[in-house]
Chain A
Amino acid sequence: MLHPITINHYLVLSVVLLAIGVIGMLVRRNVVVMMMSVELILNAVNVNLIAFSKHLQDLSGQIFAIFVVVVAVAEAAIGLGILIALFRNKETVQVDEIDLLKW
């Protein structure tokens, strides 16, 4: 248990976060929680990138991680905007009540 932390530890953590994010996306009905699951996946990506960056002694991974955060910010803003527009019209945020178009 007390052996030094290698890159494998970080990669395993990243896979765990990815799995949790995917499960959340598939299982929850609430749109906001689905969006939060996507944020979890993006965090898993970042953990991966930083771990590789440290291992390879190369800062490009951190730069990429900055851009991933920028993308996450933009997507969160848009997603919440769309959600608000939808909510104004329909008063619900449960994903399977949004069924004018077949899933």
Chain B
Amino acid sequence: MLDTMFFYMFALLAVAGAILTITMRSAVHCAISLIASLAGVAGLYLLQKAEFLFAVQLVLYIGGIMVLFLFVIMLVNLDSAAKERQFHRRWAGGAVAAVLAGASALWLLSKGAPSFGSPVAQAAPSPDGNVEQLADLLFRQYLVPFELASLLLLVAIVGSVLMAKKRTS
């Protein structure tokens, strides 16, 4: 009962935040709405006992990415842009297509009663918490992607510094 209530609460926050993100005029307002949406999604993770991801979502996504977005928005002073036209003139087509796609997917979902893959061989409920189990997987099975993710981040750092630094000439 409480579960259901929390689900709808967080889901509502996520969806409302998302809708506001794409409809508000000012870029700063969009960013704040996105933060609200991300927080809603984080709550959903917590509901499903994905505690580590809940923390990652809050710290990295909201505390890292969205703060970066806000910095850049203020750096390029988008408020002057807010006075200009914000939406494409021919927006109907895009909106229709997306709504169609969403509607058909929803229809399929409700129709399917899909039995998605059955639970993997019943692992004995482990006494370890979520973080320990994730760490175990990450450092054993997923070692290579883990190490290469750091290469990905290095490339991103190099690139963003290259792009954003002041011209030398």
Contacts and interface: CB of A to CB of B under 8 A. Distances in A.
A23 B99 contact: yes
9 contacts: A26-B88, A32-B72, A56-B118, A57-B122, A62-B53, A65-B50, A73-B65, A80-B160, A94-B81
Interface residues of A, number: 74
A9 to B, nearest CB: 7
Interface string B87-100: 11001011101110
A26 B76 contact: no
- Residue of B101, B134, B164 with highest tally of chain A CB at under 10 A: B164
A88 B78 CA distance: 13
A88 B38 CA distance: 30
A65 B76 CA distance: 31
By size class, the interface of chain B is: 35 or more
B18 A40 contact: yes
B15 to A, nearest CB: 6
Interface of A: 2-5, 7-13, 15-24, 26-30, 32-33, 35-37, 39-40, 43, 46-47, 50-60, 62-63, 65-67, 69-78, 80-85, 87-88, 92-94, 96
Nearest to B21: A36
Interface string B58-101: 00110011001100110110100100111110010111011101
Interface secondary structure of A, over-half rule: helix
Interface in B1-28: 1, 3-4, 7, 11, 14-15, 18-19, 21-22, 27
Given A4-B3, A59-B134, A77-B157, A36 B30 contact: yes
A40 to B, nearest CB: 5
Given A40-B18, A50-B44, A74-B155, A27 B160 contact: no
B163 to A, nearest CB: 3
Contacts, number: 228
A27 B94 contact: yes
B56 A66 contact: yes
Given A27-B88, A36-B69, A73-B60, A85 B14 contact: no
A18 B66 CA distance: 19
A51 B49 CA distance: 10
Given A15-B109, A17-B14, A84-B164, 4 more contacts: A8-B109, A12-B109, A32-B30, A81-B159
Which 6 A-B pairs have CB atoms at the shortest separation, nearest pair first?
A: A26-B94, A19-B102, A24-B22, A81-B163, A81-B160, A74-B156
